[in-house]
Amino acid sequence: MVYKKNSVINKNEFLAVSLVLIAISFMVFVFAATALDSPVVNGNYSDTLNISVSTDAVNNVTNVTCYYNASGGTATLFLVEILNDSAADTSFENASVGTSSLGGDATTYNISCSLTGDTNAETSTANITIDNTAPNVTFSGITNTVDGASYKSSIVINVSVSDATVGMTRGSVYFNITNSTGDQHNFTKASTSGRGYYNITVDTTKFTDGVYNITVYSNDSLGNENNTEIISVTFDDTAPSAVALTSSIATKTSLTITIAVTDATAGMNQSCTTDRSGASISGTTNAQTLTETGLSCGTSYQYFVQCTDAAGNTGSSAQTSFSTSSCITGGSSPSGSGVTATWTNTYTISDEQFEQGYRKELGANNRVRVRVTGSGGAIETHHVGIKEITDTTVTIEIASDPVEVELEIGEDAKVDVTEDGYYDIYVKLIDLVNNKANLLIKEVYEEIPEGEGDIATSGEIVGEDEDGIVQAFEKNLIWLWALIGFLLIVGVVIWLKAKGKSKPKK
């Protein structure tokens, strides 16, 4: 009896368990076969949504109606209704639901779809992200890359990129560098530290000098793209091609010198510098002015100037000499004329050039300024100038106390300008070409032979200083007295002969 009773109980329990399992299996089959295939849970979407519902477990579905909620609550806002094409439809799709009208970007969208058929059913998807906004690109000043500035060698271009909705975890940033003619030179993916900054290092020497536009392309995880022109910069790896110094104004105690800088690309944006501490330079463009005061009259000063362009490239001038005006008021004058000479150009040569011998073609009223060491080591400034040029001769003035000599081709002159008993300046006429005299001007230190004057020349002296005039006058007096003596002797001889002839004959 006990065995039968237990058998009945086991059969009943087995039947109940079987019915439960069948019911569960049916429910699993229904829900497993009815699904919202798209969008998916935690999916990211932009532009449009493709709504796709499978209805294998529901017969005779007449329509599928979908609702949404942007803030994560129950989906109650109408999204779309999809009608069947036939009673046997098991797949309902609509690929043209625009996301831009759903209330903005968010990560909390819920979508629920209801199926109407023999057996009503419902399926849903939660935490959908909708993002239609491109990343935000902000230029970062961490590396001081400035819009409109000029750079050489290399620069680091850095930007901050952020995306408010899906972020940049799977996004990317590229830099496009294009010159002013539109030729694309570089399209490089940026590196990132993972903290929102993206950068590249640009080797400017790989580019032709010029102006370049730098554009940033950024894509977020959904492919929303932002391309923003961030800055325009100049790449310049070439130093200024020329730094020229020319005299502007020279007084007895000051010099004003013009600085002309030639730079083809970046140009100048700062003042040049000079090796003379007492001089100052004004201006920041390609034309600048050097000024120095408190100088000594009749003295030569050397200047060396360096100029750095806007990109940091430095060019230098040659070591150039400029002299203050002569200490003699009114300038030099021709001997005995009382008329001040007018010089249209004065060229300054360096001490080294003067010592080695300096050749220069000079026209009329042009002169060369030299420095001569006088007695006691004092430095004096003197000039060698062209007063007149003919087809065969040139008249040269050597000053400060002016003397003039006339030279033909091949003739020369030596002059003692410091009155120390030594010839100081040597001048030779090399040639006459196109109404210009080709002169050799050289420093000498030759003792004047006893009995010789301050000027020694193979040409002709046509003017000299006051002492020279006196000496010439004294020499001429000697000849005059000799002539007078000779005439007296001749007169006496004639008188004696005449007297002898006048005596009466015996």
Is the distance from CB of 395 to CB of 406 less than 8 angstroms? yes
Confidence category of residue 289, pLDDT binned at 50, 70, 90: very high
The mean predicted confidence, pLDDT, of the chain is 80
pLDDT tier for residue 478 given thresholds of 50, 70 and 90: low
235 burial via Cβ count (<10 Å: 0-12, 13-18, 19+): buried
Percentage of the residues of the chain whose pLDDT score is greater than 70: 80
CB of 69 closer than 8 Å to CB of 49: no
Q: Is the pLDDT of residue 504 over 70?
A: no
Q: For residue 15, is pLDDT > 70? A: no
**How many C-beta atoms lie closer than 10 Å to residue 351's C-beta?**
16
Main-chain phi, psi angles of 189, to 5 degrees: -75, 135
pTM score of the predicted model: 0.49
Q: Is residue 315's pLDDT more than 90?
A: yes
Please say whether the structural domain 242-323 has been given the CATH code 2.40.40.20.
no
Give the model confidence (pLDDT) of 22-67 as tens digits.
Answer: 444 444 334 435 788 888 887 788 888 888 888 877 788 888 999 9
- Percent of the residues in the chain that have a pLDDT greater than 90, as a whole number: 29
What are the residue boundaries of the structural domains of the chain, listed by start?
31-130, 136-235, 242-323, 345-469
pLDDT in tens, 183-238: 767 778 877 776 677 888 889 998 999 999 888 888 776 777 777 767 889 999 99
Which one of 170-174, 234-238, 336-340, 370-374 scores highest in mean pLDDT? Answer: 234-238
Which pLDDT score is estimated for 479?
Answer: 55
Is the per-residue pLDDT at 402 higher than 90? no
Hey, what long-range contacts does 272-275 have (CB within 8 A, 24 or more apart)?
272/243, 272/305, 272/306, 272/307, 272/308, 273/305, 273/306, 273/307, 274/303, 274/304, 274/305, 274/306, 275/303, 275/304
Ramachandran angles phi, psi of 5, nearest 5°: -60, -45
C-alpha closest to that of 99 among 48, 159, 156, 24: 48
pLDDT of residue 495: 72
Give 271-293 as a DSSP string.
--EES-TT-EEE-SSSEEEEEE-
Give the CATH superfamily of 136-235: Immunoglobulins (2.60.40.10)
397, 405 contact by CB (below 8 A): no
Q: What is the pLDDT of residue 230?
A: 75
Q: Which of 100 and 481 is assigned the larger pLDDT?
A: 100
Overall fold of domain 31-130: Immunoglobulin-like (2.60.40)
The residue-averaged pLDDT of 76-99 equals 85
Q: Picking from 61-70, 259-268, 387-396, 457-466, which range would have the lowest pLDDT averaged per residue?
A: 457-466
The CA distance from 429 to 415, in Å, is: 15
Rounded mean pLDDT of 372-395? 87
For 33, 61, 62, 80, 366, the CA distances from 86, given in Å and listed in that order, are 19, 9, 8, 19, 111
Nearest CA-CA partner of 114 in 198, 56, 53: 53
Per-residue model confidence (pLDDT) at position 279: 95
pLDDT at 100: 82
Pick the range with the lowest mean pLDDT from 162-176, 204-218, 470-484. Answer: 470-484
- CA dist 413 and 456 (Å) reads 6
Angle CA 394–396–399, to nearest 5: 175
Number of neighbours of residue 398 by Cβ within 10 angstroms: 27
pLDDT at 322 over 50: yes
**3-state SS class at 81:** strand
In this prediction, residue 89 has a pLDDT band, given cuts at 50, 70 and 90, of confident
- Asked whether the domain spanning 136-235 has the same topology as the one spanning 31-130, the reply is yes
Per-residue pLDDT, 172 = 80
